[in-house]
Structure 1
Amino acid sequence: MRKLLLSGILYCSFVSLSSVYAQKSEIPKYITNVEGVKEYSLNNGLKVLLIPDASQSNMVVNIVYSVGSRNEGYGEKGMAHLLEHMLFKSTKNLGDIKKMLSDKGGAANGTTWLDRTNYYEVFPSNDENLKWSIEMEADRMINATILQTDLDKEFSVVRNEFEIGENNPDGVLQERILSTAYLWHNYGNSTIGSKEDIERVKANRLRVFYEKYYQPDNATLIIAGKFDEQKALQYVGQYLGAIPRPKRVLDKTYTLEPAQDGEKFVELNRAGDSKNVGALYHTVPYADKDFAAIDALGEILTSDPSGYLYKTLVETQKVSSLYAWQPNVRDASFMYFGVAVPNDKDIKATRDIVRTELDKIPTTLYTDQDVSRAKAKIIKQIEGVKNNTISFAINLTEIIGAGDFRLGYLYRDAVEKLTKEDIQRVAEKYFRSNNRTVGIFIPSKEEQRVKSVEYTDEQLVTLTKDYKGKALEKEAAAFEASIKNLKQNFVEGKLSNGAKYGLIKKEIKGGKVQANFKFPVSNEKDLAGKTDTGGILAQLLKTGTKTRTKEQIQDRLDQLKSSIYFNFSGQVLSINISTYKESFKEVMEILNDLLVNSTFPQNELTKTITDYNTYLESNLNDPQTVAFTELSRETTKYDKASIFYTPTIQEQIDAFKKIKQTEIVDFYATILGGNNGVGSVVGDLEAKSTVEILENTFGKWNSKSKYELAKPTYFETKILDKDFITPDKENAVALGRISFKMTKSSADYPAFVMANEILGSGGFLSARIPMRLREKEGISYGAGSFIDVPITNDVASWSYYAFLNPTKKNAVETAAKEEIAKALKDGFTAEELKSNLVSWQNERKTRLGSDDTLMSLVNTYLQYGVPLEDYDDLENKVKALKVEEVNAVLKKYLSLDKMTSVYAGDFTKKL
């Protein structure tokens, strides 16, 4: 009765709220259309962007607030990020946000950074989801409860997230360099904030910050994907238009970082397993014309294989890898160079070598080819994001945070117009040693200091207000996310060597084409002791052929805005391709060259192994890596030569060091081949010509080793609790696993899927394990469960995980086991099954809207004969389940007496 009464009260509140919305509704005012992005505004100051794409089956609602760590004052470090967490709790009118998101399914998240905070939801396209998302964001904007009781639980979760970040040597070094480089501006502060501020802030202080910044005149709402535009505008006007414009006036931030007056140095001494060098240069805001030139210079310097720094540092094996990045921000930005150093190198000597090479940046004479190459790569990246509407809408978050969504187009236009003179100019202007941070102060005279560039809001308006963009592109046709529609647009066949293919006829924005190929090869005997060789080989397939150099391969792919990725695992070579309709044939010709003419230069093999081992060395004491490695080793007992054997991290390092070029060449010549492969292609391609291209690419590529599917051995798990100490690590990981026999065709599989969903995998952190560990007790940053049930063999398992502070190990262990024991003893309720079924169905609907899912379904059908209809059949079986069946299957397969648990962390730490 109490539950019914409460529901009635909430319903009445909802009706009352709706009537208010109806009274104050307004029609958003149309502003402009820039290349398919339609801008509107409300009288309360809210900006609205609509990005329709009928080819999508999903939609995203993304709201961006112009507040981040840049806006935090004394004692407020990390407040914007902490509020991001708190705004997933509850609101006065709608109630529990996480519960509602869980019931809706789909994908949802919130992120915070230097200039902005955003919240987004990706759901299957329908009016109900559109309306609910807009109504929820309106309620969350002004009616968040921000209770002290919720904060008491959440701050430890955020602190745990802070501690996980503290274990990343490269990330920590970058934070310290930033804090040294910026004397006054808040870009020197970590967005996640001060640990002490996180722990001490009170809810009333958070509310003041919330009420100041989380208002319509400080927000931009983005709706993208497949949706009814008129209804979207109606809902925006109804729910968000009802919010009055705040009376307070937001003070503008005005801190301008002074010109740096000498090179700075940082020496960071703390626990870790890898050596890193970092260097930072102050640059310009995203709005500045020089930003694009600096980005291109970063590509010219670090790109593999053509980069100047790459050639002098990585090619010569002085370092194992390097990267550069420049964040898109509102105020003066920075260019950061990150360098990974092998453990056998002297870190201080390497630092000086890096500085010497950086000093050459202003005096290097750059070429037209350098600029052309960098422009091709950047434009490829821009086009890749632009033609994925959901990602594009979320990616706009950063650009809006930098000042205005049109800045992204101005940046693209600036990239297209770049010349070598632009590159030379920014190299000479910004890349001076007195504008660099790596260490100690060195006095010098007559420096040409680089001042920060500032843009006022008025300048931004002048810069962007009349921008119209390029001509609108043709809209892609709608594609229904259903198995029935997939089958209607699907053609299959065989190549002359027996390889199977599936073609999915679907228009993708921009004429994009996606392809995924799986090539099972060889047999367990021929592959014994060679899986490491296969893994390294896959990374070397783009390092040169008899007809093309590594540089030529990468340059041409960038010019075609295309990518080819290889991976080898177990006994399968996987190939993923992203390209465009007009480039598909040439990209496949390049792929054929890589598959039949690769040369595997010795220097590339050496570099690749060094890079891999440097990464592995950095993870020798990483709790997450150690935990997952050791759990696999404890639950499977294969011989070392088996393709299923899990090596220790050190064994993996030692194995890579022993790989010879002759072994790579032999593996390539005798093991690889396409005659047992399957592949799927998604795009608006003509079937006959596409089959001809596939035949030319794979039809004569055959393996000399007989293919036999290798099947794993079943090892029954036993009760075990084992600790692995990782000294001085701030976070820890708990893992547990139970093995059993089951396949996806087993009668018990549907019920077991839902048992796992309710216990640890389902909803938006609403299943039992995450609800207990994170939401109720706040002792884990992330917790849940997952299953591994195969198609072709019956070696299956269920696992749970939790990320935690080492001092919370006993509490996490107790809570997790109690939740499992409670489920086994008392079972789940019919209400739990009902609510998790809804979110599970919605999540599957969302997943079916992904091209990756379509290709995966087709490849599974081609390789194993699993009918496409099985996707719907599983859903029908799950919908017919009774809670008694779910409980019975849970008890049949899970038992704490068979659970192997491992814990990795520094459990010597005290509270």
Structure 2
Amino acid sequence: MRFTPLSLALALSLGFALPTAAADAPAAPPAGTPAAQAPAAAPTKLSSVEGITEYRLANGLRVLLAPDASKPTTTVNITYLVGSRHENYGETGMAHLLEHLVFKGTPSLPGKSIVENFAKRGMRYNGTTWYDRTNYYETFAASEDNLDWALKMEADRMVNSFIARSDLESEFSVVRNEMESGENNPTRILMQQMAASAYQWHNYGKSTIGARTDVENVKIENLQAFYRNYYQPDNATLTVTGKFDEAKTLAKIAQHFGSIPKPARKLQDTYTLDPQQDGARELTITRVGDTQIVAALYHMAPGAHPDAAAMSLLAQIMGDTPTGRLHKALVEKKKVAGVWAYPFSLKEPGYTLFVADLNKTQSREEARKIILAELENVAKQPITEAELKRAKTALLNGYEKAMSDPVAFGVALSEEIAKGDWRLFFLQRDQIEAATVADVQRVAENYLRESNRTLGQFVPTDKPQRAAIPGAPDVQKLVEGYKGKAAMAEGESFDPSPANIESRTTRLTLGNGMQVALLPKKTRGNTVNGSITLRMGDEKSLFGQSTNAELAGAMLQRGAGKLSRQELADKLEELKAKLSVSASATQVRVGFETRRDKLPELLAVIRDVLRSPTFPAAEFESLRTESITGLEEQMRQPEAVAQKAVEKHGNNYPKGDVRASMSFDEAIASYKAAKLADAKAFYSRFYGAQNGQLALVGDFDKAEAEAQLKQLFGDWKAKAAYQRVEMPFVVTKPAALTLETPDKANAAYIASLPLKLADTSPDLQALQLATRVLGGGALKNRLMDRLRQKEGISYGAGSWLSVPSLDDDASLGMYAIYAPQNLDKLKNGVAEEIAKLVKEGVTEQELSDAKSGLLQEATMGRTQDARLAGALAGQLYLKRTMAFTADAEAKLKATTLEQVNAAIKRYVDPEKLVQAWAGDFANAAKKAAEAKKAEEQKKTASAQ
């Protein structure tokens, strides 16, 4: 997640003078900005494909409108054709740095008011920077006011953003903190180093976050020039998806964006390309950690080239879990813990990455040999029709799922826009659909060559084999006249109010006691989502069974009925379905999604997954290896170490109790000692549906679903009795825990304040609002104002309130990431903000914004069918209806400032905090001492 800034180059090319003291003040808005220009000509309609219509304004802005009234949310996404590819020597990270600064505001929208409006309006928002583009988007509850504000704000900050020296200085350490956070991730560091080795000249070899020295030394004038050059209408595409009136929205876009003049400057195309690689390269990174990684990178064609579609299929065939060749050759044979592959499909020649994760006992050398043999010997083991069909099904289902989600669809188009044209999204889908075995085989043999590979070191060869990398095609000719397929059918305009949801929900109980909630409605793409919760055991019967419970749940999708793990994965793709299973010591949760016509067959599959798992021995061993490897990696990460320390502090339940918290070492030992027979025995004893809940939301026939659910689950009962394991409030002693995580550039802070509170407490809403002000929302909260905006020491900080429904062991939590050398600043900042909250309380404006944000976020949450299904299933268990939700929201609206501030004083006691700081503090102290000594020596030498 990245938030970015803006720059200022066009002012120079247009002849507008910058102030001589271009430090803290931005350049005066040039004549012809939205505030100064008369309304422009009406947008010109250019093309329409599958429900998306493209318009162009006279100033060059491209506009894509994709209306869909099935969900009452709207997404505004603006894509600028500028990324790290466009940065010059000494200016790496500039595009990303601008992405941060753009949130600092404009003369008409000062910095905080942008994020304040986001929070007040309950908007989900972000900005991201990649190689070829930068994009910003907001998703919000559909309303003309919200849409008008978002469009006006984006038009304003396109040309009027503050790119001020003071903001740049405060953001330096925030970006450094983001860099340090990334350096904690072994996979991310390895990927960066491999790209740097693979590209000699092209900017794709440089991370978008940039070089630390470039970010720290960039000149504000350069940043302003970069902004004015690239942040202009003729270099941008505005996309609006979701629920909105197309005619009114087009008029608003013309009003807000149309008055921005088309710049006189001409953007220069980038022309640097790497020569064909002359031999294999190999590198090794040595850092503290527990997980080993072996990866191979191969250059590939530009994203608009037909070869890119075939490469996507090849990556799926090779890297998928559990159907891919690498999974079968490595994971199933216990050579590695996991594998994955990803094609970086970019504007210019990109690359495909194949990655294997190993635990400490597995051989990197053996894994390396197998990976390269599988990838580079495709001529000896040709691609089969069955493999191609499976890969096509998976990728085409991905396209369909993206198109059925207006939010994801709108943002996904940014990648295609960056490659040259939004219609490439559909064109590449068609190319995937039409691809033949011969196409994929040719691509494999051309690109997966030793001479085109980066694994690390350079290896010379007498007879180099060079991959032929084609140039980017003429995209406009490629998409000219393209019509696409029929637009996806829209869903109904659904009212997400609690009252409407309640009026349309049917609840029933199956013969065995399983509770069911059904909410049929017309959805885009005829989608239907479901949620199942199975509850099991009691405090006594579950003692010592935590690991067996987790393993039993994780085994459900690794073979069921007559299907192996691979066959089950194939079946889900065939049904255009998503299925997830997660298990804890006391329950199993199942989430699923499919289409109306596929639901009966998917429910039958889920029946087999839950009632007839096969527990293959080989899969059990793979699962144990994956679990142990994951734990070994976590135990070195500051965030996980701090979280575990807080979790274990004050947890006095005996070892074996399902409420006890295991250390990393204890958890690893439990997985090493786990036996397949014990997991199977747990399943046999505890699984059944009589204490379960099931909810369906979406496009389905209610009568047919009810009949099938009765047949599939109505007779299924567990052998062991169920009684909820209570989690009563326990007084916890305060603590301050400092934990060393060597060789980690980033540090983590986690805190918890135990509270005796249930979700029926009259103080609940007051504390929810107080928590929102303290650390809720994204950029706008007191912790972020202090630690990021003011002091610039944290990329991310916040708070949360966890309140149970049937117990009273609640907690107020806080978190932050920061550099180890900033520990004292972090401690001081958090302490002062909490003390200020207790002493002064919140303001009327903060209360109003918090209410607005929470209520609009809750409304948007109910537009997401998967979340709504989970909520309805939870209500069944709690014996509640949507009336409880409506009542809670009414109480939140009615909560007064006096009630919030009184609740803060009653519950928030800084002296009762359990706090943990994890990081490489010893090394930070050593460096500080060395710096101090050097400074003293310098002063002594100067005096002499």
In structure 2, the partner of 1:884 is 898
In structure 2, the partner of 1:807 is 821
Aligned with residue 879 of structure 2, among 853, 856, 865 = 865
In structure 1, the partner of 2:181 is 164
| TM-aligned CA deviation for residue 377 of structure 1 | 0.8
| TM-aligned CA deviation for residue 480 of structure 1 | 1.3
- Paired letter, 2:299: H
**2: CA distance, partners of 1:766 / 1:545:** 47
In structure 2, the gaps of 5 or more residues are 1-28, 929-944
Aligned with residue 444 of structure 2, among 411, 427, 431 = 427
Contact (CA 8 Å) 2:549, 2:584: kept in 1 or not? yes
**1: CA distance, partners of 2:749 / 2:319:** 38
Aligned with residue 28 of structure 1, among 37, 43, 55 = 43
Change in CA separation of 1:333 and 1:134 when aligned onto 2, cut-off 3 Å: same
| TM-aligned CA deviation for residue 855 of structure 1 | 1.6
Q: How does 1:404-483 map to 2 (within 5 A)?
A: 404-455=421-472, 459-483=474-498
Aligned with residue 774 of structure 1, among 770, 788, 791 = 788
Find out whether 1:790 has 2:807 as its counterpart: no
Q: How does 1:13-162 map to 2 (within 5 A)?
A: 20=36, 23-96=38-111, 97-162=114-179
Aligned with residue 347 of structure 1, among 347, 356, 364 = 364
In structure 2, the partner of 1:245 is 262
List per-residue Cα deviations over 1:554-573 (Å, max 9, x = no partner): 11111111122111123111
| TM-aligned CA deviation for residue 283 of structure 1 | 0.8
Q: How does 1:278-297 map to 2 (within 5 A)?
A: 278-297=295-314
**2: CA distance, partners of 1:857 / 1:81:** 38
TM normalised by structure 2 equals 0.93
In structure 2, the partner of 1:719 is 734
| TM-aligned CA deviation for residue 808 of structure 1 | 0.6
Find out whether 1:183 has 2:197 as its counterpart: no
**1: CA distance, partners of 2:452 / 2:294:** 17
Q: How does 1:299-448 map to 2 (within 5 A)?
A: 299-448=316-465
Contact (CA 8 Å) 1:379, 1:561: kept in 2 or not? no
**2: CA distance, partners of 1:570 / 1:660:** 16
Contact (CA 8 Å) 2:197, 2:281: kept in 1 or not? yes
List per-residue Cα deviations over 1:666-696 (Å, max 9, x = no partner): 1111111111111111112111101112122
**2: CA distance, partners of 1:284 / 1:490:** 51
Superposition CA RMSD, Å: 1.6
List per-residue Cα deviations over 1:499-527 (Å, max 9, x = no partner): 11111122221111111111111112111
Q: How does 1:812-823 map to 2 (within 5 A)?
A: 812-823=826-837
Local SS of the residue matching 2:836? helix
**2: CA distance, partners of 1:719 / 1:670:** 40
**1: CA distance, partners of 2:566 / 2:545:** 28
- Paired letter, 2:172: F
| TM-aligned CA deviation for residue 738 of structure 1 | 1.1
Find out whether 1:569 has 2:587 as its counterpart: no
| TM-aligned CA deviation for residue 273 of structure 1 | 2.6
Aligned with residue 708 of structure 1, among 723, 729, 735 = 723
Contact (CA 8 Å) 1:718, 1:897: kept in 2 or not? no
**2: CA distance, partners of 1:474 / 1:337:** 37
| TM-aligned CA deviation for residue 18 of structure 1 | 7.2
| TM-aligned CA deviation for residue 17 of structure 1 | 8.0
| TM-aligned CA deviation for residue 352 of structure 1 | 3.4
Aligned with residue 197 of structure 1, among 194, 214, 218 = 214
In structure 2, the partner of 1:8 is none
**2: CA distance, partners of 1:266 / 1:55:** 50
| TM-aligned CA deviation for residue 715 of structure 1 | 2.4
- Paired letter, 2:664: I
| TM-aligned CA deviation for residue 102 of structure 1 | 2.2
Change in CA separation of 1:26 and 1:874 when aligned onto 2, cut-off 3 Å: farther
In structure 2, the partner of 1:747 is 762
**2: CA distance, partners of 1:599 / 1:54:** 43
**2: CA distance, partners of 1:743 / 1:330:** 53
Find out whether 1:276 has 2:290 as its counterpart: no
**2: CA distance, partners of 1:307 / 1:722:** 44
Q: How does 1:819-830 map to 2 (within 5 A)?
A: 819-830=833-844
**1: CA distance, partners of 2:34 / 2:158:** 16
List per-residue Cα deviations over 1:248-286 (Å, max 9, x = no partner): 100001112211000111111223332111110111111
Contact (CA 8 Å) 2:40, 2:58: kept in 1 or not? no
Q: Could you tell me the percent identity over the aligned residues?
A: 37
Local SS of the residue matching 1:637? coil
In structure 1, the partner of 2:859 is 845
List per-residue Cα deviations over 1:611-634 (Å, max 9, x = no partner): 111121112210001011110001
List per-residue Cα deviations over 1:166-189 (Å, max 9, x = no partner): 111111111111100111111111
Find out whether 1:609 has 2:638 as its counterpart: no
Contact (CA 8 Å) 1:635, 1:900: kept in 2 or not? no
- Paired letter, 2:65: L
In structure 2, the partner of 1:10 is none
| TM-aligned CA deviation for residue 446 of structure 1 | 3.3
In structure 2, the partner of 1:835 is 849
**2: CA distance, partners of 1:798 / 1:727:** 29
Contact (CA 8 Å) 1:46, 1:221: kept in 2 or not? yes
Which sits farther off after the overlay, 784-793 or 648-657?
Answer: 648-657
Local SS of the residue matching 1:735? strand
Change in CA separation of 1:887 and 1:777 when aligned onto 2, cut-off 3 Å: same
Which sits farther off after the overlay, 854-863 or 383-392?
Answer: 854-863
| TM-aligned CA deviation for residue 766 of structure 1 | 2.2
The count of aligned residue pairs is 893
In structure 2, the partner of 1:5 is none
Find out whether 1:542 has 2:551 as its counterpart: no
List per-residue Cα deviations over 1:383-420 (Å, max 9, x = no partner): 11111111111111111111111111111111111221
Which sits farther off after the overlay, 92-101 or 402-411?
Answer: 92-101
**1: CA distance, partners of 2:77 / 2:561:** 48
Contact (CA 8 Å) 1:328, 1:399: kept in 2 or not? no
- Paired letter, 2:158: M
Name segments (4+ residues, structure 1) moved above 3 Å.
16-21
Which sits farther off after the overlay, 254-263 or 470-479?
Answer: 470-479
**1: CA distance, partners of 2:843 / 2:328:** 62
Which sits farther off after the overlay, 311-320 or 358-367?
Answer: 358-367
Contact (CA 8 Å) 1:106, 1:846: kept in 2 or not? no
**2: CA distance, partners of 1:835 / 1:350:** 54
Contact (CA 8 Å) 1:717, 1:737: kept in 2 or not? no
**2: CA distance, partners of 1:635 / 1:259:** 60
**2: CA distance, partners of 1:770 / 1:697:** 50
| TM-aligned CA deviation for residue 584 of structure 1 | 0.4
Contact (CA 8 Å) 2:545, 2:585: kept in 1 or not? no
Contact (CA 8 Å) 2:578, 2:592: kept in 1 or not? yes
Which sits farther off after the overlay, 836-845 or 186-195?
Answer: 836-845
Local SS of the residue matching 1:299? helix
Local SS of the residue matching 1:870? helix
In structure 1, the partner of 2:667 is 652
**2: CA distance, partners of 1:535 / 1:781:** 34
Aligned with residue 592 of structure 1, among 607, 625, 649 = 607
**2: CA distance, partners of 1:220 / 1:135:** 15
Change in CA separation of 1:232 and 1:723 when aligned onto 2, cut-off 3 Å: same
Local SS of the residue matching 1:472? coil
- Paired letter, 1:722: L
Aligned with residue 738 of structure 1, among 749, 753, 759 = 753
